[in-house]
Amino acid sequence: MKTKLRHWTFFFAAAAIAAPGCSDNADPVYKDASQSVERRVDDLLSRMTLEEKVGQMCQYVGLNHMRQTAVVLSEAEMKKSHAMGFYADCPPERIEEMIREGITGSFLHVTSVEEANYIQSLALRSRLAIPVLIGIDAMHGTGLVRGATVYPTEIGQAASFNPALVEKIGRETALEMRASGSQWTFGPNIEVARDARWGRVGDTFGEDPYLVTQLGVAAVKGLQGADFTGEDYVIACAKHMAGGSQPVNGINGAPNDMSERTLREVFLPPFEKCVEAGIYTVMAAHNEYDGIPCHGSRFLLTDILRGEWGFDGFVVSDWMDIERMQDYHTTGATLRDVYSQTLDAGMDMHMHGPDFYYEVLEMVRDGVIPESRIEASVRPILAAKFRLGLFENPYVGEEKTRGTLFCEEHRATALDAARESIVLLENDGILPLDPAKYRRVLVTGPFADNQVQLGDWAFRQPEENVTTVWEGLQAVSPETQFTLCDLGWNVRNITPEQVRGAVRQAAGKDLAIVVVGENSLRYHWKEKTCGENSDRYDISLYGEQEPLIRALHATGIPVVVVMTNGRPLSTEWVSENVAALIEAWEPGSLGGQAVAEVLYGKVNPSGKMPISVPRHSGQIPVYYNHKFTHHWFPYATGKSSPLYEFGYGLSYTTFGYGDVELSAGTMAPDGQLTASVTLTNTGSTAGTEVVQLYLRDKVSSATRPVKELRDFRRVTLAPGESTRVEFTLTPDKLAYYDAKMHYGVEPGDFEVMIGSSSRDKDLRRAVFTVK
């Protein structure tokens, strides 16, 4: 490894000194930063060979990644892998040559500045010295880079109902990405998660199209700024288009078989709004929609994306999914077939590997694909490189890395985000904990003291950067005598004997805090129970976790349960029996501190559920914005209602809602009106409430959901304080696809519901008429 690094340093230095590339005139327009991006792209394109053009559409995994993967995976295993790759007939040395030849456009899985700089140094030695675009899944901070700030995963961010916070996280993530050598994140994930069995729920902003849209747009603004010009912003990627978050059986990549109406009403709005907000890239989904793999869907990737929404960035494929059109979907017998299908659908960049390059090159040479089709894809890719400032400076200096990653400001945001993401689900009055009453506390469960709280898309971080629940508790309540009974992080391996050990340790304690949940860490690929490709048919607490809670409960001491998990977990018995239950999601680097602050009342919890929790996986799909007939009849056995509803979450204070007041009883289809309530903090602690506004179209030509979130506001009030919360209702909040699939507002009565959750009993109502 050392030798390799020296080798890289040499290249980097040599490339930096040598005049990059050898163009055919001294001052080509494309190298002149004072020229417009359009002129620079035109000039560069006019100088490029066909090989160089096709090369821009090709992405490869990082050189280090390739070398490491080749040692641990066979070729057959690698073909099936979604996280690791190498190229059997194209070793890293050949890829290095290809970079120097100027026929590689992009890389992913480059996780160190040294490697990023090295790859750029090779690219600058190519004929036209076109830098490469380095992509990474910076889903909640650039957590695949060691030393980065890891924020709560998207599902936790969503529980904050706080777009400004999500924008800030995006902004800081962009800075940390640029400081670690990447310029393109494969996020945000703006899929609407409608199946708790699906392992990637934690990757998303939850089940509601409106919330997902607001937070997705906020993330894009944070990541891209106004138009990502300069060296401080990155390009974002809306993924995965579309519908993979409601797979037929909960399995990642399984078909999605839904009506165009549901696709357009539920799954597409976040994409459309992110396009409107200027998102520059879109990733196609693994799944098929209506019998056509999304990677080959002209309907999705061209007709809707570019035709209807005017998208002018570029589309990237997901990991080897074009090849899977040949292997799994079998819509083509050869690679040529599927490459041709995807290009016809509107694909611009291939993730990842050399096959695409050689096949597509040949197809253009054979006249099957016109060169102009290639140029259409290359233009936006080159434009991004210009706007990101890569032609001026593709390198990252060590100082920038040191001063930016995990800096004080970013740590503060990560802590705030963790605080705001925590949802208090149950509290019999035990919280906030009184240290004078609970002096000796047992802390146990698989996730009390390790990095599982970082969630998916994070590699191991330096221990000193992560505050676990165990560490947080000691820092927040130094007067309490805490005892740790560590069960290890692997929920698959916890034994009944370990449970008995924890019970023995509970003797003489006043309280037990049990940290349970799921593990999404990708470096535990085969052990994790959640995250990418870790779907479950049973969403209860896995293994011995519930027996552990039951056994501790049976000792008679109060039990407080903290869950760290990336998907809803059905915990009916736990909910009904323990003293308190906290949903901490995957709270990131400083999550343990935030959990402890909530437990001891230093922070009043304000998070609300961004997704419903089923009681049982047999109820799935469970979402609040269902049609009335979804619950036409109750189940013959067991309850039909969810365990926790969308929008629900407790506080240490209470809030009172006044009646809903409307500015008028009627509204023109193109008019607007306001709906308002008076909110009062009726408790004795300061607190933050998320006021939620739902609408229902009472009679409609096509069926409508029983309610849909159409606005929300976070409001902080001192004890006894009141405020008026006002919402403006505009036609876009009432519009839908009518019986003839026309999008618009249908006249008639609409019900406005305002309150603290989507539960009927938490909502105040009023009706107005659209005339």
The binding track of 526-565 with respect to ligand BGC, each residue x by CB under 6 A or -, is ------x---------------------------------
Residue 456 as a binder of ligand BGC (CB under 6 A): the answer is: no
Q: Which two tokens stand for residue 161?
A: 């109902």
Q: For helices 113-123 and 92-100, give the axis angle rounded to 10 degrees.
A: 50
CB of 62 to ligand BGC, least distance (A): 11
By the rule CB under 6 A, 239 interacts with ligand BGC:
yes
Helix %, strand %, coil % of the chain (to 5): 35, 20, 45
Nearer to ligand BGC, 65 or 733 (CB): 65
Does residue 445 come out as left (phi exceeding 0), alpha (psi in the -120 to 50 range) or beta? left
Whether 254 contacts 203, CB under 8 Å: no
Helices 591-599 & 408-421 angle (0-180, nearest 10): 50
Identify the CA nearest to 406 among candidates 587, 589, 584: 589
- The answer to whether residue 154 forms part of the interface with ligand BGC (CB under 6 A) is no
| C-alpha triplet 316, 317, 321: angle, nearest 5° | 175
CB-based contacts of 19, cutoff 8 Å, min separation 6: none
Q: Which is nearer to ligand BGC, 82 or 602 (by Cβ)?
A: 82
The residue (of 253 and 642) whose beta carbon lies closer to ligand BGC is 253
* Residue in 238, 131, 124 with CA at minimum distance from that of residue 181: 131
Contacts of residue 51, defined as CB under 8 A and 6 or more positions apart, other chains included, come to 101, 102, 103, 361
The DSSP code sequence of 605-631 is -----SS-B-SSGGG-S--SS-BGGGG
Q: Tell me the sheet residues that pair with 136.
A: 185
Q: Which is nearer to ligand BGC, 241 or 516 (CB)?
A: 241
Cβ atoms of 352 and 346 within 8 Å: the answer is no
* Six token digits for residue 678: 């008076």
CB of 189 to ligand BGC, least distance (A): 7
Q: Nearest approach, Cβ of 351 to ligand BGC (angstroms)?
A: 7
If the CB atoms of residues 108 and 595 are measured against ligand BGC, the closer one turns out to be 108
Structure-block tokens of residue 565: 């998990």
Shortest Cβ distance from residue 136 to ligand BGC (Å)? 8
Subset of residues 97 to 116 that bind ligand BGC, contact rule: CB under 6 A = 108
3-state secondary structure of 697: strand
Residue 137 binds to ligand BGC (criterion: CB under 6 A): yes
Minimal distance, residue 620 CB to ligand BGC, in Å? 22
Verify binding: residue 406, ligand BGC, rule CB under 6 A: no
Closest approach, Cβ 243 to ligand BGC, in A, equals 14
Minimum CB distance to ligand BGC smaller for 177 or for 734 = 177
Contacts of 39-47 with CB under 8 Å at 24 or more apart are 40/382, 40/386, 40/391, 41/379, 41/382, 41/383, 41/386, 44/128, 44/130, 44/382, 45/375, 45/378, 45/379, 45/382, 47/23, 47/128
Minimum CB separation from ligand BGC for residue 109, in Å? Answer: 7
Which CB, 348 or 689, lies closer to ligand BGC?
Answer: 348
Query: Under the criterion CB under 6 A, does residue 82 sit at the interface with ligand BGC?
Result: yes
Nearer to ligand BGC, 186 or 314 (CB): 186
CB nearer to ligand BGC: give 79 or 550. Answer: 79
- Catalytic residue numbers read 318
453, 586 in Cβ contact below 8 A? yes
Q: How far is the CB of 405 from ligand BGC (least distance, A)?
A: 20
Query: Which single residue brings its beta carbon nearest to ligand BGC?
Result: 186
- Class of residue 391 by CB neighbours under 10 A (exposed 0-12, middle 13-18, buried 19+): buried
> If binding is defined by CB under 6 A, does position 318 make contact with ligand BGC?
yes
Residue 661 carries which side chain, given as an amino acid letter?
Answer: E
Closer residue to ligand BGC (CB): 128 or 193 = 193
Give how far the C-alpha of residue 16 lies from the chain's centroid of Cα atoms, to the nearest Å. 36
Residue 271 near ligand BGC by CB under 6 A: no
Least Å distance between CB 144 and ligand BGC?
9
Tokens of 26: 């001294």
Told to check if 319 binds ligand BGC by CB under 6 A, we report: yes
User: Least distance to ligand BGC from the beta carbon of 260, Å?
Assistant: 24
Separation CA 122–CA 129 (nearest Å): 9
Buried b (16+ CB within 10 A) or exposed e, 48-60: beeebbbbbbbbb
Q: How far is the CB of 196 from ligand BGC (least distance, A)?
A: 19
Q: Chain centroid to CA 390: how far?
A: 26
Residue 245's SS3 state is coil
Distance of CA 246 to the CA centre of its chain: 16
Please report, as a single letter, which amino acid is at residue 575: S
Q: Which amino acid is at 585?
A: W
Residue 239: strand pairing partners: 189
Size of the site for ligand BGC (CB under 6 A): 8
Q: How far is the CB of 721 from ligand BGC (least distance, A)?
A: 44
Q: Using CA atoms, how far apart are residues 242 and 250, in angstroms rounded to an integer? A: 15
236-239-242 Cα angle (round to 5): 150
Helices and strands in the chain: count of H runs, count of E runs: 25, 27
108 vs 279, beta carbon nearer ligand BGC: 108
Nearer to ligand BGC, 237 or 620 (CB): 237
**Least distance (Å) between residue 170 CB and ligand BGC:** 16
Q: Applying CB under 6 A, which of residues 8, 161, 186, 624 lies at the interface with ligand BGC?
A: 186
Per DSSP bridges, beta strands 580-583 and 559-564 are parallel
Considering beta carbons, is residue 236 or 574 the nearer one to ligand BGC? 236
Name the site residues for ligand BGC (rule: CB under 6 A): 82, 108, 137, 186, 239, 318-319, 532
